[in-house]
Amino acid sequence: MLLSVGSVVYLNEGRVKIVIMTRYPLVEAENKKMYFDYMGSKFPEGLDPKQTIYFNEENIDSVVFEGYQDEEEKRYQVVLQELVKNSEYEKGAVSSILRT
């Protein structure tokens, strides 16, 4: 299962906590749209449109805090995973990790 919005993680080789802001964002790069598992921002600063970070499950080193989950969240995750499974878009690959 995906981590919930509000979860806080460290990325591989990262030294900054990242708070998950959304799941499966679509990003335009290299003249095509692709998706990532997560979009986050530095914690505790929060959302800064100039410093959003796109990453995938395999880029997470450790989970510091898991965001709120209830039955609605669990149903929503099933819907999200079905959408991604049937998506026309490729999954993006992370080329570098924020190391500030």
- 4 and 66 in contact (C-beta within 8 Å)? yes
In the numeric block, the tokens 């995906």 are attached to: 2
pTM comes to: 0.86
Phi, psi angle pair for 59, to nearest 5°: -90, -5
Predicted confidence (pLDDT) per residue in 17-68, tens digit? 999 999 999 998 878 899 999 999 999 988 888 889 999 999 999 999 999 9
Asked whether the predicted pLDDT for residue 99 surpasses 80, the reply is: no
Predicted confidence (pLDDT) per residue in 61-98, tens digit? 999 999 999 999 999 999 999 999 999 999 998 875 54
pLDDT confidence of residue 100: 35
